[in-house]
Chains A and B, each alone.
Chain A
Amino acid sequence: MSNATAVLQLRGIHKKFPGVHALKGVDFTLRPGEIHALLGENGAGKSTLIKVMTGVYTRDGGDILLDGQPIFPASTGDAQALGISTVYQEVNLLPNLTVAHNIYLGREPKRWGLIDWKTINQRSRELLKNYDLDIDVTQPLSSYSIAVQQLIAIARGVDMSAKVLILDEPTASLDADEVQSLFRIMRSLKERGIGIVFVTHFLDQVYAVCDRITILRNAELVGEFEAATLTRPELVGHMLGKELAALEDRLHQTTSESAAAPALTLTQVGRPGTLEPVDLQVAQGEVVGLAGLLGSGRTELCRLIFGVDKKQSGTMVFQGKTIHLSSTKEAIDLGMGLCPEDRKHDGILGPLSIRENIILAQQIKQGWWRFIPRKQQNAIAEKYVKDINIATSDIEKPIEQLSGGNQQKVILARWLASNPSLLLLDEPTRGIDIGAHAEIIKLIRQLCEQGLSLIVASSELEELVAFSDKVVVLRDRRKVAELTGSDIQPDTIMRAIASA
């Protein structure tokens, strides 16, 4: 294709971090009015490429052309001024500012030279309506869930986009409806001639909106393809460099359920304003999936069980004993684990190494005075790095230097390593690539055979189907259905979520 038709063109981009050559001569061409998927495994270099385009990192080689002119952005601010607007992988907004201020930070409308808050609030409200979000925009951002924050970040990015819009895994914590509204908005930007770069691990989404696809593998360009002519197995093959071993379908009800002892029984457990009373039984070795839209109460239920929030009603029986948790430490001591939804704030300890992050939960459980010997720490860390393909040069690397998906794998490993008897996973595979996804499902099934009980909250129906022996559907902070056996199918779950 000729240069004339490209709005943004990258040629031979190199980027090196100490010990890692993260981009090796990558080319990328974005045309105006197209949606261009940027795909690759965790750690392939997608986010790095984006940060090079937007001036967060300075490139170690190569050219960037915007409308045919070479550009050298030195900061996100520069890139914005050039018409490149970006929604980075993690929610990168300011928790202390109001929602409206977050949307307009750096481009606040003014009146008489002073910031016009009334206009800011009003425009933000209208902007968020496009995403079916009706919230109080004068509250601090931190009072909203990670998914809502994600939508706010998208709203900001979209509103600022002049020539190019870059979305790095924007859909990772959104559910189907929100993804649809995002797609609607992306298509309308496309009509206006804006070029969109879209990073995701959901292949359905790639085929739903993208025109072209660029694939990276191990810091190198694999190639650029037309979405219409690239089949799904070909696409996966390019990403992984090999065929994906097909996951055999799980036979639901494999274990005779009556035989398995109940691990956790909730009777009318609730908390006014957070969750209506819920009944729930989890047998030993069983996987219970929690389905529902955003804010349906999935996260809240996990938090109640784990003692983050205290239950106000009902009884909870865990391994035959009635328990009243008042802190998460007690839950951990009893053998529970919770892998939270918001990895950036509740999960990773940025400057600590992968090893330290992995052994953390186990160390807390044992108490700090019974220090885990270094050799054992190394063994545990190395086992998980191998088992779930954490892409890293070594286990002493600070976790903040890993790619987003690999950070998520480390958090997951942390809880798996603590040998819990009941594990609660809130959106466990957010941002994890399809290859690793399969590995994780396999690993979890193994653990369940050894008696681990699992509660998984997820907005990905396919994943729930793959994991679960039982699916509990929540709506409006209330349990509305419980599906077992052959009822566990994406469309049945979908119907249960949607039915009024």
Chain B
Amino acid sequence: MVNRKFIPLIVTCCLFFLLFGIGSIQFESFGTSRVFFNLLTDNAFLIIAAVGMTFVILSGGIDLSVGAVIALTGVISSVLISQYNWHPLAVFPFVLLLGTGFGAAMGALIYFYKLQPFIVTLAGMFLARGLASVISEESIPITHEFYDAVSMFGFELPGGAWIGTSTIICLLVLIAAIVVAHYTRFGGRVYALGGDNNSAALMGVPLASTTISIYATSSFLATLSGIVYSFYTFSGYSLAAVGVELDAIAAVVIGGTLLTGGYGYVIGTLVGVLIMGVVQTYISFDGTLSSWWTKIVIGILLFCFIAMQRVLSRGR
């Protein structure tokens, strides 16, 4: 008997292979390593952001500021690089620090003032998006040889698949997140918070530092995601990545994490993003369907997964 707790994860994985299989049967060049790795490349920034979101949702919270933080990161980086001539390698640690501080501040507000994460991160979203627009309403292009080098860097796998910088960063983040979630005390505390706040406190879990760290982690990863995003666009734009936080939430839920917290796995989130990517790829292969069908399918999947979670958690 498989452990009950793995059921949502198993369903997610099966669904991915099913969708990928259907595509491969219908279209000749669909079932290739190239298409598979393209999923990773195209969605690397989303995977990174969604991993951060996984920690937040596991702890029973939510982070709506992710998309705005991605945009703000892009804008600040592009301004520093293009207008102030900072080297990107100096810019990245700087924005990562800023982002982490931003998340920590949201976490502190949530914990110390007992505010709803929904409200606090919504405010964070407006703040970050507004700040980005104040800095520049126009898209700012980034031209720097470092960015060219980054986009050239990578290696080809047999079969023509390309592993670039974003994919490598995204895989490193994944591995680190899995280790943190499942093999460190911090990870255990995240799950503890999602299980029952009160009990967690009575078991000696330090709520303040854990809550702050969770939102700091999420914003750190959102910032990293923003950096990776700028590798695709070579620019910073205040209206970029609108709604990415919702994609991230969808990926986490489709990945088998319970929206109310406490149950789920980081690896599920990867599969969640891949499922969304596969649907999109399928629709672009088909060519006749409007790309909005992606949203419709994802909407239906979300419904199904939430219903499944309901059924499973009733059995508990």
A80 near B185 with CB under 8 A, answer no
Contact of A106 among B187, B194, B205 (CB under 8 A): B205
A80 near B202 with CB under 8 A, answer no
Contact of B188 among A80, A88, A92, A108 (CB under 8 A): A108
A:49-86 near B, CB below 8 Å? 56, 75-77, 79-80, 86
Contact of A75 among B191, B196, B201 (CB under 8 A): B201
Verify if A95 is at the interface (C-beta below 8 Å from B). yes
Verify if B160 is at the interface (C-beta below 8 Å from A). no
Name 14 extra pairs, CB < 8 A, besides A94-B262, A115-B185.
Answer: A76-B201, A76-B202, A77-B205, A79-B204, A88-B202, A92-B199, A96-B195, A97-B192, A101-B188, A105-B192, A106-B203, A115-B183, A138-B3, A139-B3
The closest CB in chain B to the CB of A56 belongs to: B202
Residues in chain A near residue B3, CB distance under 8 A: 138-139
List of 7 A-B pairs having minimum Cβ-Cβ separation, nearest first: A94-B195, A96-B262, A77-B204, A96-B195, A114-B183, A92-B199, A92-B202
A94 near B5 with CB under 8 A, answer no
B316 near A143 with CB under 8 A, answer yes
A:138-185 near B, CB below 8 Å? 138-140, 142-143
With A96-B262, A97-B191 known to touch, is A105 a contact of B201 (CB < 8 Å)?
no
Instruction: Report A's interface with B, CB cutoff 8 A.
Output: 56, 75-77, 79-80, 86, 88, 92-97, 101-102, 105-106, 108, 114-115, 138-140, 142-143
Residues in chain A near residue B184, CB distance under 8 A: 114-115
Expressed in whole angstroms, the minimum distance between the Cβ of A495 and any Cβ of chain B is 37
Residues in chain A near residue B262, CB distance under 8 A: 94-96
Contact with A along B162-199 (1 / 0, CB 8 A): 00000000000000000100111101110110111011
In the complex, what distance in Å separates the CA atom of A92 from the CA atom of B202?
7
Residues in chain A near residue B183, CB distance under 8 A: 114-115
Residues in chain B near residue A77, CB distance under 8 A: 204-206
The closest CB in chain A to the CB of B205 belongs to: A106
**From DSSP, what is the main secondary structure of chain B's interface residues?**
helix
In the complex, what distance in Å separates the CA atom of A75 from the CA atom of B204?
7
B:1-22 near A, CB below 8 Å? 3-5
B:293-316 near A, CB below 8 Å? 316
Instruction: Report B's interface with A, CB cutoff 8 A.
Output: 3-5, 179, 182-185, 187-189, 191-192, 194-196, 198-206, 262-263, 316
With A106-B185, A115-B185, A143-B316 known to touch, is A80 a contact of B5 (CB < 8 Å)?
no
A94 near B179 with CB under 8 A, answer no
B199 near A93 with CB under 8 A, answer yes
In the complex, what distance in Å separates the CA atom of A115 from the CA atom of B186?
10
B194 near A96 with CB under 8 A, answer yes
Expressed in whole angstroms, the minimum distance between the Cβ of B109 and any Cβ of chain A is 20
The closest CB in chain B to the CB of A87 belongs to: B202
A96 near B191 with CB under 8 A, answer yes
Residues in chain B near residue A105, CB distance under 8 A: 188, 192, 203-205
Residues in chain A near residue B263, CB distance under 8 A: 96
The closest CB in chain A to the CB of B316 belongs to: A142
B196 near A94 with CB under 8 A, answer yes
Residues in chain B near residue A138, CB distance under 8 A: 3
With A76-B201, A94-B199 known to touch, is A114 a contact of B179 (CB < 8 Å)?
yes
In the complex, what distance in Å separates the CA atom of A96 from the CA atom of B262?
6
In the complex, what distance in Å separates the CA atom of A92 from the CA atom of B199?
5
With A105-B192, A108-B188 known to touch, is A93 a contact of B203 (CB < 8 Å)?
yes
Expressed in whole angstroms, the minimum distance between the Cβ of B204 and any Cβ of chain A is 4
Expressed in whole angstroms, the minimum distance between the Cβ of B212 and any Cβ of chain A is 15
19 residue pairs from A and B, CB less than 8 Å apart:
A75-B201, A76-B203, A86-B202, A92-B199, A93-B199, A94-B196, A94-B200, A94-B262, A97-B191, A97-B192, A97-B195, A106-B189, A108-B188, A115-B182, A115-B188, A139-B3, A140-B4, A140-B5, A143-B4
B204 near A106 with CB under 8 A, answer yes
The closest CB in chain A to the CB of B194 belongs to: A96
Expressed in whole angstroms, the minimum distance between the Cβ of A308 and any Cβ of chain B is 12
In the complex, what distance in Å separates the CA atom of A95 from the CA atom of B192?
9
With A96-B195, A108-B185, A143-B316 known to touch, is A56 a contact of B203 (CB < 8 Å)?
no
A95 near B196 with CB under 8 A, answer yes
Expressed in whole angstroms, the minimum distance between the Cβ of B82 and any Cβ of chain A is 41
Residues in chain B near residue A93, CB distance under 8 A: 199, 203
Expressed in whole angstroms, the minimum distance between the Cβ of A162 and any Cβ of chain B is 13
Residues in chain A near residue B191, CB distance under 8 A: 94, 96-97
Residues in chain B near residue A92, CB distance under 8 A: 196, 198-199, 202-203
Residues in chain A near residue B200, CB distance under 8 A: 94
Residues in chain B near residue A76, CB distance under 8 A: 201-204
B201 near A80 with CB under 8 A, answer no
Expressed in whole angstroms, the minimum distance between the Cβ of B44 and any Cβ of chain A is 26
Residues in chain A near residue B194, CB distance under 8 A: 96
The closest CB in chain A to the CB of B179 belongs to: A114
In the complex, what distance in Å separates the CA atom of A76 from the CA atom of B316?
28
In the complex, what distance in Å separates the CA atom of A97 from the CA atom of B188?
8
Expressed in whole angstroms, the minimum distance between the Cβ of A103 and any Cβ of chain B is 10
In the complex, what distance in Å separates the CA atom of A142 from the CA atom of B191?
14
Residues in chain B near residue A139, CB distance under 8 A: 3
The closest CB in chain B to the CB of A91 belongs to: B199
In the complex, what distance in Å separates the CA atom of A286 from the CA atom of B185?
54
Residues in chain B near residue A101, CB distance under 8 A: 188
The closest CB in chain A to the CB of B208 belongs to: A75
A94 near B192 with CB under 8 A, answer yes
Residues in chain A near residue B192, CB distance under 8 A: 94, 97, 105
Residues in chain A near residue B185, CB distance under 8 A: 106, 108, 115
Expressed in whole angstroms, the minimum distance between the Cβ of A215 and any Cβ of chain B is 25
In the complex, what distance in Å separates the CA atom of A97 from the CA atom of B200?
11
Expressed in whole angstroms, the minimum distance between the Cβ of B117 and any Cβ of chain A is 18
Contact of B206 among A75, A108, A142 (CB under 8 A): A75
In the complex, what distance in Å separates the CA atom of A4 from the CA atom of B262?
46
| Residue among A88, A92, A94, A106 having the largest count of chain B Cβ atoms under 10 Å | A94
In the complex, what distance in Å separates the CA atom of A76 from the CA atom of B205?
8
Expressed in whole angstroms, the minimum distance between the Cβ of B163 and any Cβ of chain A is 27
Expressed in whole angstroms, the minimum distance between the Cβ of B57 and any Cβ of chain A is 13
